Chains A and B, each alone.
Chain A
């Protein structure tokens, strides 16, 4: 450890939510460094702020204090356009509750990130390639027969795999997964973990959040979040 370059570095992250007059402090100075190619699991009790941390890392929210650096670039200093690019190209986010778009079919959900970054003209040029890439991903995830289905026709595990496909669409350097197995039975959860392990072996950097010790053990490195801080 230590030879590989850092891809992500979070320092003294503070985050609190206002609930009327009182502020709920969720993160109280979290430090975290992720090396390129690492598979990190963040474990913590429900409500400990795991999702909150992951959102900060993915640029979906801003910390009250502290910095998140991706490749030595501070997310809080990025302009809106750069942040959009960061979310589009650099990270792939797998949500706890899948969050697929109901109006799009499975294939379209997967290549959505490719569509977002392109205008009508640009899309015509890359459409075929994007479709091919999405199809490949679906094959890797064992969903090739489901490409034309709508999200509501899928089971939870299948939806989660589609969400992983979407996260991987633009070949992000960092994959953030929020309880990817949280809503699944253990067999289906195992399938998902196997997918993540395979990705890790292929060199993908992954930060996964879970409250399940057994799931966390599948990762290369485990970080425990308690009381708003990382326990060392």
Chain B
């Protein structure tokens, strides 16, 4: 019982323990805020990439593409766990607006309805969210060819991430220029030159939330993309995107698709242009978007490591604080042992003290972090309004507001770490205090 009593008294009476609690609270606060923002960023980024490509992609990086995709889609649709498939042509093109300078874009040829079943394509559309079938129909020129532009190609985004939307798409014509390749990968003649050229009208914009995509992607109908970029007898695509039924384990689904693909390739490898199938791989969405996701994940890991150092600092500070407290309290240890307290008891006293310091610090830090995160966007907004200082540049981050969703799991882990850090920090001084012989601490001294 003396342990609890003394823990409470030490806590209330000693200024230095308040500092210890404050230190722990600060460290916990920082880690909570950074982890939450970082986790949120990475999580949202991954989610957006997932939404953008669907669950699984059977595709090639080659610009030549691969044939027999229609048979492949039929086979895929027969797999139990496959909900929808969408053929996609991917290529590069030169986009030339009528009154602006030309720019290089990524071309995506899709069937808007099919693609909306596999990805969130429809939801990204500015005007045809409920009607993707007409995504490529310019309202002002219904019989002309339409194209969907990445939102950053057409609309201006201000520093607060707000787009100035028009009520309906403005009239605008673009010419798209491609270099079509034949099935052997050689430039194909389109008429008298090796480039193919076609005019499209702006029919809609797409806001995927991935800055790279929104700033450089032009969507056109699948057949248009095929005829612009891929010459040859058999129609080809770059990829078939797949969506699995809800509840399907991603790995299981991908394995099934791989199995099917293996057989499919085997059967057609000797058919005309069949060797193009050699370049095709089956990847889940994470593998497929690895080039974009991996750097984010690396940053997250780096952050975790850096905050691991914050944790080590906490341990060290707690160690120092406890060392000071215990060295101030060796006489108490002697007194306690002289009235019969055991080594374990003294250890328990200081470990319990450390535990309480860690617990209070964690609770305070988490509460502070929570409050701060709940208001982080308002604080940021206020800073911007008041001082024109923008913490979160919306032109860099495609995410409109600072992530602030606190995960209980993360909090629990952080609190646990903080408490363990305190215990570790207190362990050495507590152990050395417990081992003292009473007389060693009682020689001389007053009160």
Contact A115 B5 (CB under 8 A): yes
A87-B339, A99-B331, A103-B10 known; A116 and B2 CB under 8 Å?
yes
Q: For chain B, which range describes its interface: under 10, 10 to 19, 20 to 34, or 35 or more residues?
A: 20 to 34
Looking at B339, B341, B345, which has the most chain A CB atoms within 10 Å of its CB?
A: B339
A103-B13, A122-B1 known; A97 and B444 CB under 8 Å?
yes
Chain B 1-31 interface residues, beta-carbon cutoff 8 Å to A: 1-2, 4-6, 9-10, 13
Looking at B334, B337, B447, which has the most chain A CB atoms within 10 Å of its CB?
A: B447
Chain A 22-65 interface residues, beta-carbon cutoff 8 Å to B: 55, 58, 60-61
B301 at the interface (CB under 8 A from A): no
Chain A 66-105 interface residues, beta-carbon cutoff 8 Å to B: 80-81, 84-89, 93, 95, 97-104
Contact A116 B334 (CB under 8 A): no
Contact A80 B342 (CB under 8 A): yes
Contact A101 B332 (CB under 8 A): yes
Please name the residue on chain A nearest to B344 by beta carbon.
Answer: A80
Chain A 168-203 interface residues, beta-carbon cutoff 8 Å to B: none
Bound Cα distance from A159 to B446, whole angstroms: 11
A117 at the interface (CB under 8 A from B): yes
| Chain A interface main SS type | helix
B388 at the interface (CB under 8 A from A): no
**CB-CB < 8 A to A58: which residues of B?**
338
A10 at the interface (CB under 8 A from B): no
A99-B331, A99-B334, A152-B447 known; A115 and B2 CB under 8 Å?
yes
**Partner among A61, A98, A104 whose Cβ is within 8 Å of the Cβ of B9:** A104
| Chain B interface main SS type | helix
Bound Cα distance from A103 to B13, whole angstroms: 7
B159 at the interface (CB under 8 A from A): no
A103-B13, A113-B340 known; A60 and B437 CB under 8 Å?
yes
A residues contacting B by CB (< 8 A) are: 55, 58, 60-61, 80-81, 84-89, 93, 95, 97-104, 108, 112-113, 115-120, 122-123, 151-152, 159, 166
What are the nearest 9 A-B pairs in CB distance? Answer: A88-B340, A123-B1, A103-B9, A115-B2, A113-B339, A60-B438, A87-B340, A61-B439, A115-B1
User: Given known contacts A60-B439, A88-B339, A100-B447, what 14 new A-B pairs fall within 8 Å (CB)?
Assistant: A60-B442, A61-B437, A80-B343, A84-B342, A85-B340, A89-B340, A97-B446, A99-B334, A99-B442, A103-B6, A112-B2, A115-B1, A120-B1, A151-B447
B residues contacting A by CB (< 8 A) are: 1-2, 4-6, 9-10, 13, 331-332, 334-343, 345, 437-439, 442, 444-447
